[in-house]
Homo-oligomer: A and B are copies of this chain.
Amino acid sequence: MSKIPHRLYLTEEQMPTQWYNLRADMKEQPDPLINPGTMKPAQVEDLYPVFCEKLAQQEMDAETRYFDIPEEILEMYKIYRPSPLIRAYNLEKALDTPAKIYFKFEGNNTSGSHKLNSAIAQAYYAKEQGLAGLTTETGAGQWGTALSEACAYFGLPLTVFMVKVSYEQKPFRKAVMETFGSSVIASPSETTNIGREILKSDPTTGGSLGCAISEAVEKAVTSPNHRYVLGSVLNQVLLHQSIIGLETKAAMEILGEYPDVIVGCAGGGSNLGGLIAPFMQDKLTGKANPRIVAVEPASCPSFTRGKYAYDFCDTGRITPMAKMYTLGSDFKPSANHAGGLRYHGMSPILSKLYHDGYMEAVAVEQTKVFEAAVQFAKLETILPAPESSHAILGAIDEALKCKESGEAKTILFGLTGTGYFDMTAYSSYNEGTMSDYIPTDEDLERSLATLPKIPGIQE
């Protein structure tokens, strides 16, 4: 067999033309969303005021196994996809491991991450429904940038509520979004009721994703013909992100490879859920049994220390409630946390799979994450996003285990994006001023005490 190339790109003809819906193969379904107004399982119509209709339907559809990707979305995918599957030869050599390490690199587009895959889908369906505009939130800024690109492409106005601490740490992210024509507002803000309330109770807060979601939802439902869109957590997002895993699997098949271990970073679960989708299908249908490892920050450990329970998706408690691993909807990681992945909850699909034993999870500290990031950058000459670097660290750990055991396993990890807008964090790592933070049990008890009560379901 000829030597495996460093990077493999599928051709345009080899690109997937359908998304894969993991729920269609799950033996047990995630518990339904609960409408906080009725305290009953949400119906698809309940979501129409917030999400556009096609997306609400995708959100609720557990039966359709494959969705055709509309031609207009495929056309925009082709501007920046396929993304490469890369063999990390230098990392393997430096670790002196018998393992083969592959990564799927989603950072070669202006959003700097995989987020564009779902942003395009969501903007397209919004445009198709004739909406006047969209609102969203962004933390690290990749999602806001991705959606700004997609909205510019489809000609839709966009308002982005950006978590204040990121807004301040990443001033240039705002400028990118504005270049694509979006309005960017630091959250919490004075422009919404919820923002004003939060500022009143905590004027110096750096904000949180949960809070920015509340503001974006409020803004959407109070603006004529607007809807809200979200870049992670949701079932629809995992559906769109399945393009990552489908491309990866197709590329690995061309190489005659199949992963023994798949490692992904986990915040809300959008990349991990997309990357593992077709491999999890193999697992669910008994065709193969790869290990799947989620890597999350020790400062925001929803899988490893959260509770599998119904919770709100936002701090303002206006969204439907989802059964997921959660730290409580008003949990905020410490301000010294710069590694992203700071959402209090986790994709309900991934939560269910983890709960049912289909996945593992580990929590890692941020100085170790940045150490792995810098090692990777020097060897593979890609400056990774802090979020993505959780997966790098996870993959390195797996490769070192292989070194110990002498096993030549095939490791696949998701490199979700680049760190060009994270230089404040890199500088603090370089200067030795970065510290770690692990919430105490009391911290978590306190935030978990806010879980909602749902008669007959969660008392």
- Smallest Cβ distance from A389 to chain B, in angstroms? 12
Task: Assess whether B11 is in contact with A378, with CB atoms less than 8 Å apart.
Answer: no
Chain B, residue nearest A370 (CB): B179
- Given known A176-B420, A179-B430, A418-B110, contact A152–B378 (CB-CB < 8 A): yes
Interface string of A373-388 (1 = CB under 8 A from B): 0100111111100000
Name A173-187 residues within 8 Å CB distance of B: 175-176, 178-181
Q: Which of B108, B116, B175, B383 contacts A430 (CB 8 A)?
A: B175
The verdict on A109 contacting chain B, using a C-beta distance below 8 Å, is yes
Task: Assess whether A110 is in contact with B12, with CB atoms less than 8 Å apart.
Answer: no
Interface string of A143-157 (1 = CB under 8 A from B): 000000100110000
The verdict on A426 contacting chain B, using a C-beta distance below 8 Å, is yes
- Given known A6-B78, A78-B6, contact A179–B381 (CB-CB < 8 A): no
Contact residues in B for A456 (Cβ distance below 8 Å): none
Task: Assess whether B176 is in contact with A423, with CB atoms less than 8 Å apart.
Answer: yes
Task: Assess whether A377 is in contact with B5, with CB atoms less than 8 Å apart.
Answer: no
The verdict on A127 contacting chain B, using a C-beta distance below 8 Å, is no
- Cα–Cα distance between A418 and B420 once the two chains are bound (Å): 11
Task: Assess whether B153 is in contact with A423, with CB atoms less than 8 Å apart.
Answer: no
Majority SS of interface residues in chain A? helix
Interface string of A163-181 (1 = CB under 8 A from B): 0000000011001101111
Task: Assess whether A7 is in contact with B377, with CB atoms less than 8 Å apart.
Answer: no
Contact residues in B for A110 (Cβ distance below 8 Å): 377, 381-383, 418, 420
- Cα–Cα distance between A12 and B424 once the two chains are bound (Å): 36
Q: Which of B9, B178, B377 contacts A427 (CB 8 A)?
A: B178
Contact residues in B for A424 (Cβ distance below 8 Å): 172, 175
- Cα–Cα distance between A125 and B421 once the two chains are bound (Å): 32
The verdict on A80 contacting chain B, using a C-beta distance below 8 Å, is yes
- Given known A7-B78, A12-B6, A381-B80, contact A175–B108 (CB-CB < 8 A): no
Contact residues in B for A426 (Cβ distance below 8 Å): 175-176, 179
- Given known A378-B153, A421-B420, contact A176–B5 (CB-CB < 8 A): no
- Cα–Cα distance between A112 and B423 once the two chains are bound (Å): 15
The verdict on A457 contacting chain B, using a C-beta distance below 8 Å, is no
- Given known A79-B90, A418-B110, A420-B420, contact A180–B5 (CB-CB < 8 A): no
Name A362-379 residues within 8 Å CB distance of B: 374, 377-379
Task: Assess whether B109 is in contact with A381, with CB atoms less than 8 Å apart.
Answer: yes
The verdict on A76 contacting chain B, using a C-beta distance below 8 Å, is yes
Name A110-127 residues within 8 Å CB distance of B: 110, 112, 116
- Smallest Cβ distance from A304 to chain B, in angstroms? 29
- Smallest Cβ distance from A328 to chain B, in angstroms? 34
Task: Assess whether B79 is in contact with A423, with CB atoms less than 8 Å apart.
Answer: no
Name A65-90 residues within 8 Å CB distance of B: 76, 78-80, 86, 90
Contact residues in B for A9 (Cβ distance below 8 Å): 9
Interface string of A128-161 (1 = CB under 8 A from B): 0000000000000000000001001100000000
Seed contacts A80-B382, A179-B423; 12 additional CB < 8 Å A-B pairs:
A5-B78, A79-B90, A109-B381, A110-B418, A110-B420, A153-B381, A172-B420, A172-B421, A175-B430, A179-B374, A179-B383, A420-B421
A-B contact pairs, 15 of them (CB 8 A): A5-B11, A80-B382, A90-B153, A108-B108, A109-B381, A110-B381, A112-B420, A149-B377, A149-B381, A152-B377, A153-B379, A172-B421, A175-B427, A178-B427, A179-B426
